[in-house]
Amino acid sequence: MITVGIWQDNGITGSVERNLVIIGTAAEQAREKNVEVLVFPECFLTGYYQAPERVRTVAGEVTDDVLGAIAEVARRTGVALVVGSYEKSPEGIFNAAHFFAPGASRPITYRKRALYGDWEKSVFKRGNGPVLFDYKGIRFGILICFDIEFPELLRETALQHAEIALVPTALMAPHDNVPKLMIPTRAIENGIHVVYANRVGEEGELSFVGLSCIAGPFGPIAAAGQGAELLVESIGGDCGHDAIDYLQALPEIHTQG
């Protein structure tokens, strides 16, 4: 078992410095609740929806020193952190999620592959491949928002023996059926836990629905409301071993056809 937390909030759009302070405060609160892994929403460090020129400017503010400051928060609190942000690289700007293990000098980084809508496609480069890692004896994968709405991407993660998928997201109205219906379905059909961390509040014309949730091989486990909230739950163990084994059944069904 491991205790996971979701920091459902909206941060300060475009202010890396102020969001660093919020991340530190959130990690302290999570430590008080014995959280071992805390997941923030998509692009929490930078803000999500901004004009293309602001995306480029703010992405440049996510420096090694900034990532080092988050690593120090993880070290000081003992809480592993998953923080979404813009990522500037020689290839372009990516929509990224960084996993900071306490004591690690650098994060493990995943880049979003399923870019949503014209705005994302105009400002971000598409990431490549899954990212999986082990922490506290548990195999984790990371996806970002729209990624998990494609069955193939979570199935790919599950087939590489991930037990928990960490999913920073920025889901806006009117798509509240995603956390209510789709996320539990994805967890059940893959025999995996999904930690889905959404934003609240507004950016420009976008209104985020909250409703962060945690689901497992047998369905919903915990869900947040539509306001700022720290959602905490202990998950893992052997519960997936007795779930319907869709991962092994599918090849057999194909051969019977």
Catalytic residue list: 42, 112, 145
- Scanning the structure block, which residue is given the tokens 């059940």? 188
- Cis ω for the linkage preceding 130 (within 30 of 0): no
Task: Give counts: helices (H), strands (E), the chain.
Answer: 8, 14
Cα–Cα distance between 252 and 149 in angstroms, integer? 25
Edge-to-edge strands of the sheet including 229-235? 108-111, 92-100, 80-89, 37-39, 2-8, 229-235
C-alpha closest to that of 190 among 237, 132, 233, 250: 250
